[in-house]
Amino acid sequence: MILTGNKRIHITRCELHRRYILPVVSILLLQACLEEPLTANDDVGEDKLAKCGACHGLNGISNIPIIPNLAGQKAEYTVLQLKAFRSGERVNAAMTPHAKSLSDQDIADLAAHYANLDPSGKSSSSP
Ligand code: HEC
């Protein structure tokens, strides 16, 4: 019950929900939805690409037998592997240190970059 001047206004619990709580919750939900989702933009820093390229090849084709090619790999798979290396779920002495410093955005960008490279390695030269 709220007193305004000499008028008494009854606000039932249901009205309270409808008038105040629902709009506030809706706004919060809307804000959450409007927050920019993580989108891969294939715009990876040159220094990162050079580091990864030292082992995996600048064109994503490795010249080293025990190092996998990344060119043309499905982005979702690359994201999962990089996150697994980062969390320690997948471990490799050569690879793990390079995944540790990657942000989610770096991982999304790197994955998009490698997915877009030609898996035959013909479109550009190997280092
Ligand atoms: C010092 C060499 C080295 C560097 C530098 C390196 N990697 Fe690796 N990477 C490896 C090796 C070795 C493996 C295979 C690991 C294994 O056998 O489990 C690997 C595996 C991977 C895999 C998993 C591939 C698959 O098919 O499962 C991905 C993805 C990957 N590296 C991405 C990257 C990215 C992105 C970078 C740069 C941030 C990078 N690597 C830097 C050596 C390296």
| Residue 39 domain-assigned (yes or no) | no
pLDDT digits (tens, 9 = 90+) for 1-41: 555 566 666 667 777 677 777 777 676 666 665 655 667 77
Same domain, 55 and 106: yes
| pTM, 2 dp | 0.75
Same domain, 50 and 104: yes
| Residue 16 domain-assigned (yes or no) | yes
| Residue 100 domain-assigned (yes or no) | yes
Question: Which structure tokens are listed for 28?
Answer: 């919060």
Q: Specify the ligand 1 atom closest to the Cα of 91.
A: 18
Q: How many domains does the chain have?
A: 2
H or E element in which residue 53 lies: helix 46-56
Same domain, 54 and 103: yes
| Residue 121 domain-assigned (yes or no) | no
User: Domain range for residue 59?
Assistant: 46-115
Same domain, 21 and 54: no
Same domain, 22 and 77: no
Same domain, 58 and 99: yes
Pocket test for ligand 1, best of 46, 52, 56, 117 (most atoms within 8 A of CB): 56
pLDDT digits (tens, 9 = 90+) for 38-50: 677 767 788 889 9
Same domain, 54 and 75: yes
What pLDDT score was predicted for residue 127?
A: 47
Same domain, 11 and 61: no
What pLDDT score was predicted for residue 32?
A: 61
| Residue 23 domain-assigned (yes or no) | yes
β-partners of residue 9 are 2
Q: How far is the CA of 87 from the centre of ligand 1 (A)?
A: 14
Same domain, 19 and 80: no
Q: Specify the ligand 1 atom closest to the Cα of 114.
A: 35
| Residue 65 domain-assigned (yes or no) | yes
Pocket test for ligand 1, best of 98, 103, 116 (most atoms within 8 A of CB): 98
Q: For the range 73-82, what are the long-range contacts, defined as Cβ-Cβ under 8 Å and sequence gap of 24 or more? A: 73/111, 73/114, 73/115, 73/119, 74/115, 75/40, 75/108, 75/111, 75/112, 75/114, 75/115, 76/111, 78/107, 78/110, 78/111, 78/114, 78/115, 79/107, 79/108, 79/111, 82/107, 82/110, 82/111
Q: How far is the CA of 118 from the centre of ligand 1 (A)?
A: 18
